[in-house]
Amino acid sequence: MATPSAHASGTFDLGGELTIHRLGYGAMRITGDGIWGPPADHDAALAVLRRSVELGIDFIDTADSYGPFVSEDLIADALAPYDGVTIATKGGLLRTGPGQWHPLGRPMYLRQAVQMSMRRLKLDTIPLYQLHRIDPEVDRDEQFAELKHMQDEGWVRFIGLSEVGVDEIKAAQDAGLEIATVQNEYNLGQRKHEAVVDFCEEEGIGFIPWYPLNAGKLSDSETLEEAANELGATHSQVALAWLLKRSPVMLPIPGTSSVEHLEENVAAAGIEMPDRIFDALDEATRDDA
């Protein structure tokens, strides 16, 4: 059996300049329970990160809040100095315990966050830095201005936003930001951000769907089972293949703490999904848009 490769997912140019393969890896699950503290098996977490690169993944997404700080430290331990690998991280969420997340977008906090991420990741410039959430308690233009400051200082190369609508992306653009990516919850079972996907495609903005393996109400359906049987794939692989076909700007980042599961996810890049299967799955979940 051929070794799976993320190269089969095709490529996308971040910011119109930096070429990555479209299937990446999300490094949230290599932390402890509740995305809090270290992983149960430190060496296994490093093995997953290193294997992801061996499988052709050259885009790894993390955040300072994962652990907190644990995911970034592990990535640096496993992969620095990142030969040919693009690291994306996020800031703007405060952690107060397992499973607890709070937006914090005060400019001084964001400035500290990016500097600390640079130190942990052992980077002079972070390739892609994303505002994890727009803090509703802070003027969003102040948050956008701080992101622009980070870029002007050379701390970050490209800027992204997370969990935003089209109006917020436009507001950031109006504030002078060139938005390279948007990271929103989106998958076969959660279609609420259809308008954002379409806008990103029009603008050439990469769309990073988090929680990409969720098939929602289709999980036990005949439609998904028939698709999986015809494609010779698992349900999760069908969900990933559907995302990759949905838009050329789609950049799925399935995460896992298992090498076996990682290899299964990467194999989805090689699935060629016929239009009729894509359309059947799309129609079955379109009501969730």
Q: Mapping DSSP to helix (H, G, I), strand (E, B) and coil, where does residue 169 land?
A: helix
Cα–Cα nearest to 273, from 241, 239, 237: 241
Dist CA 66 CA 2 (whole Å) = 33
Q: Mapping DSSP to helix (H, G, I), strand (E, B) and coil, where does residue 12 land?
A: strand
Which residues, listed in sequence order, are joined to residue 156 by a DSSP beta bridge? Answer: 126
Which tokens hold the place of 199?
A: 């806008």
Dist CA 90 CA 111 (whole Å) = 12
Q: Which amino acid is at 284?
A: A
- Based on the residue annotation, tell me whether 66 is a catalytic residue of this protein: yes
Q: Which amino acid is at 132?
A: H
Q: Which amino acid is at 149?
A: H
Could you tell me which residues come within 8 angstroms of residue 78 by beta carbon, excluding any fewer than 6 positions away? 45, 46, 49, 50
Q: Mapping DSSP to helix (H, G, I), strand (E, B) and coil, where does residue 160 land?
A: strand
Dist CA 59 CA 187 (whole Å) = 19
Active-site annotation holder among 25, 66, 129, 186 = 66
Active centre residues (catalytic): 66
